Amino acid sequence: MTASEKILGHIHSLPDRDLRRMIKREWSRNNRRPQGRILRSAGRVTREWMSWEELLVGTDYDDKIAKLLGRTSMSVARKRQHLGIVGFGHRVVTWTKEMIKVLGKEPDSVVAKRFNISRGTVSIKRRRLNIHYLAQIQRSWTASEDQLLGRYHDEEVARRTGRPLGGVRRRRIILRIENTHSKLPRWTKAELSLLGKVSDIEVAQLTGRARGSIERKRLEMGVAYTGALLHKWTPEDDALLGRLPDEQVAKKLNVSKQAVVHRRCRLGIKITNRRVGRSKEFHLLGKMRDWELAKLSGRTIQSIRGERAINGIPSLTHQMRIWRPDEYKLLGTMPDSETARRLGRTKLAVSIRRKQLGIERFRIRP
């Protein structure tokens, strides 16, 4: 019988009078007026821990305690760490000078096997002491090593130099040396001419190559990703939104369709030439998450997103409003909840913006 089962058995064996007294004491303690903030997680108040529950923490594995108490394993683990209790079955390692002396000089797995401890324990201790593993310390590339790049396969260069394969590839890309031994089909002049002129995704669709392969090739040739440059929207460009289909606007302005849809939704512009009846769930678009509305209406998420995009309604999770100067002046002058109510923003958004600007939260001064 484990310690947790013994404690539960003791609780069940208590007389009804003592059990009612204990529950009443716990109820009065947990229902007092809180002295500080009430922490909420994912929109709900977390359940208070009772003293008899805390006695069970650490007496058995976290998942078993969680099953007994009707809590999650993560909740039990956090409570155990907060109380400073070592996990059940975990041995407390007393680090000696001899053990610390070999950290970094040998692989963590070798040190762990020598002292009969886990590799993770060794790795955590080494990092806390800021000790680097000597084999992982980056060494400079020599001229003779650079000459091997491109002449042999990257795997062969890695074997000869004793370096990781990823390090060899990065070095070759930095020096803009073409991988002549690649097993993939060679790039044609027509394919190379597309790099940097359109997005990597479009190049992948046109050439049938992987996006990662296209990005590596572009970096090898030192070609900047011009497709990533943001389009500067002018009043004339905005005037086209909603009047023409998104595909025509994208083709006329030489931008992607997604960029047009994003701009139109952000400005709240609808497609005026669309003649489709509105469903009864139309008024819920943008007021609840897409997956929630899809479940409620029996539609697909793609259908909900398309309806929002056509009508210029931004997503609930991506409704970004630019902060105005008069809104900045309210930060820190009142509680974040009151500021959020006045500005029509969430409390979390107000708190994040206040912290980014280094403004202390509002405190009532005596």
At 41, the pLDDT band (50, 70, 90 cuts) reads very low
* Pair 136, 165: CB distance under 8 Å: no
Give 163-180 pLDDT, tens digit per residue: 878 788 888 878 878 777
pLDDT of the residue at 33: 43
Amino acid at 261: V
Q: Which residue has the higher pLDDT, 73 or 8?
A: 73
Distance of CA 358 to the CA centre of its chain: 24
pLDDT digits (tens, 9 = 90+) for 303-314: 777 777 667 677
Torsion region of 245: left, alpha or beta (phi above 0 gives left; psi -120 to 50 gives alpha) = beta
Tallying the residues shown for the chain, one arrives at: 366
Q: What gap in Å lies between CA 89 and CA 270, rounded to an integer?
A: 62
Give the separation between CA 249 and CA 258, rounded to whole angstroms. 11
Are 221 and 191 spatial neighbours (Cβ–Cβ below 8 Å)?
no
Q: Helix or strand or coil: residue 337?
A: helix
Instruction: Determine the Cα–Cα distance for residues 14 and 233; give it in Å rounded to an integer.
Output: 74
CB atoms within 10 A of CB 247: 10
> Which single residue is written with the structure tokens 């680090």?
95
- Compare 140 and 281 and report the one with higher pLDDT: 140
Please answer whether residues 334 and 362 qualify as being in contact, where contact means their C-beta atoms are separated by less than 8 angstroms.
yes
Model confidence over 261-276: pLDDT tens digits?
778 877 777 766 554 4
pTM over 0.85: no
DSSP 230: P
